[in-house]
Structures are given as C-alpha cells and as structure tokens.
Amino acid sequence: MSKAVRFDRYGAVDVLKVVEVEDRSPGAGEVRVRVVAAGINPGEIGIREGALHERWPATFPSGQGSDFAGVIVEVGDRVDGVAVGDDVIGFSDQRSAQAESVTIAADRVIPKPHGVPWDAAGSLYIAGSTARACVDAVRVRRGDTVVVAGAAGGVGILATQLAVLAGAAVVATASKENHAFLTSIGAIPVEYGKGLADRIRKIVPDGVDAFIDTHGDGNVEVAVALGVDRDRINTIADLAGRKKYGVKGDGMATVSPREVLIDLARLIAAGELRVPIAATFPLDQVRAAYERLGKRHGLGKIVLEVSPEP
C-alpha cells in the first residue's frame, strides 16, 4: 500500500484527499516507480472543478497529475533498457503522477540525468512540452525579437529560455519581483498590464517578430497591436482571442513528449536551462499546493515532494 491523491467528485480544492491505495505490480511492458517529486499544473484545477468535463471528463475515483520523477522499483516482462534502481523522469496521461507509487508503460519514462534536480525533473513534462510547442509554433529563429507573456510561469520561464537559446532577443513580461531572474537568463523583462504595447515598443523600437502568450488576458490583442504576423502569435491561454484574431494555439499535444523531455533534461544537466521552483509541498499538503497555484503568481514550478530523495 502507498499514498495517492484522489478525488471522488468535481469541486473545490477540498475534494482532494490523500488515501492509501494498493500498489499495482507492473505487467508486460510496464515499470513501477517510487515517486520522489510530482509537479502540479493549472489545467488540473479545471479538470478537478469539472470545468473541462466536455473535453477531458474525469472518472471517479480519479487520480491526479501528469508530471513525476522517481526511482524504478519493479520492472515487468518484456521491458528493455530500464532497470530497478534507475532514476527516471515520467509523463503520465492517466492522472496518476501524484502518488508514492506509479505503475506505467516503460516508454513513459526517460532516464533522469544526474545533474537534473529532483524538483525540476518531477515538474518538467507539461510545462516543458508546452514551452517547446510554443517556441516551435512561432518558429523562433536566431536574430528574432520575441515577446513571451507570462514569462515567470511554469511554461513561460522555459519558453523564454528556449527562445534565448535559439538566438532570439526575448522581451519577457512579469511582475517586478521576477525581473532580476529574467535578466539573469538573458531576457529583457517588462511589467505586464495597462500600456504593455507601448512599453514593448520603447524597448524594441524595430518591432517584434513573434509573440508567445502563456497567460491570456489581452496579450493576443497586444501582439496584434504590435503588428506581429498572426501565424507567429501563439496563445495557450486565450481561446476567444485565438478565434477572434486567427492566431495559433499550439500546445503540448503538438510535440513528442519523450523527445522533448530527453532534450530538456540534457539542457538542464548541462546547466543551459534552469527550472526555478516557486514552492514545494509534501504530498499530504496537496490542497495547499493547489491553493498556492491558484494565486497564479511566482517564479517557476510548484512541486509536491512525495518521498525522500535517494
């Protein structure tokens, strides 16, 4: 038996509970992972509240979470290249990540390089795949000027760095308290809110080539006002803006998560990509973790520390 997050009905954060469940031994092609860290993401709030029922219905009792990292403790038949004791980064599409024990297809884990911290590894999948999708969607090239809106968030902080690594000048919107970090990763920070388009024009008077919106709330309008080509504007948070202006809306579903995770883990281990951690919570405090996430401010990822690091 081990602990796992469950909810039995749609609702506010208090429907979440941590219960004892039976560990499932891996079948053919599967592995079992003792989870060390598991990230949390805003989309999970919408699923748990039932707001996404039409698109992604829950079946009850539901588990929760997609991102995790841990150590392989059991290997099923017909699994090659993965052994007990391996450190791995996992990506679940079965809402099973927020648990001490995850049994999953062996091809849903990749090796965790030694240099990748556990909290970063455990919160990489959703934010990392989405950041890659955003940067690919707007075709960031060397010499481009790119705006990343919501640059301090889980997706934005990675999209910002990927665009910098691709050779772009990146204007990054965030609250003042996150500007020092954004400067340290090679971006040009600017405060979001009223007057944003004018502030961006002042910083980059020659114009903006591409715009990545990870927050919604008028950013698509700002991108259009700046004269960015619509097929180089991508939003993951503004469906109405996307429809109204005919901009792109590529998200994580447009990339191969396995390839992206291997690449991002390599960059983190090489010291070329940083995953700041805004806050950590023990698994038992999963409700508090989502309350913190719901505030929608802070630098980087919020992570559940599930078991002690090996």
Ligand X SMILES: NC(=O)c1ccc[n+]([C@@H]2O[C@H](COP(=O)([O-])OP(=O)(O)OC[C@H]3O[C@@H](n4cnc5c(N)ncnc54)[C@H](OP(=O)(O)O)[C@@H]3O)[C@@H](O)[C@H]2O)c1
- Which residues contact ligand X by CB under 6 A? 41-43, 126-127, 130, 149-150, 152-156, 173-175, 178, 192, 214-215, 217, 236-237, 251-252, 293, 296-298
Please tell me what DSSP assigns to residue 99. B
- Report in angstroms how near the CB of residue 130 gets to ligand X at its nearest: 4
Considering beta carbons, is residue 106 or 293 the nearer one to ligand X? 293
- Report in angstroms how near the CB of residue 52 gets to ligand X at its nearest: 10
- Report in angstroms how near the CB of residue 310 gets to ligand X at its nearest: 27
- Report in angstroms how near the CB of residue 267 gets to ligand X at its nearest: 18
CB-based contact 199:174 (threshold 8 Å): no
Give residue for tokens 């010499």: 143
Considering beta carbons, is residue 84 or 239 the nearer one to ligand X? 239
Helix/strand/coil for 6: strand
CB-based contact 124:67 (threshold 8 Å): yes
> Exposure string (b/e) for 130-150, b if CB count within 10 Å is 16 or more?
bbbbbbbbbebeeebbbbbbb
Considering beta carbons, is residue 82 or 131 the nearer one to ligand X? 131
Give residue for tokens 């998200």: 251
Which residue of this chain has its Cβ atom nearest to ligand X in the complex?
A: 251
Considering beta carbons, is residue 130 or 307 the nearer one to ligand X? 130
- Report in angstroms how near the CB of residue 194 gets to ligand X at its nearest: 10
Element holding 277 (H helix, E strand) = strand 277-282
Distances (CA, A) of 209 to 63, 132, 171, 191, 232: 41, 18, 11, 20, 7
Q: What is the dihedral of CA 6, 259, 111, 268, to 10 degrees?
A: -100
Considering beta carbons, is residue 174 or 267 the nearer one to ligand X? 174
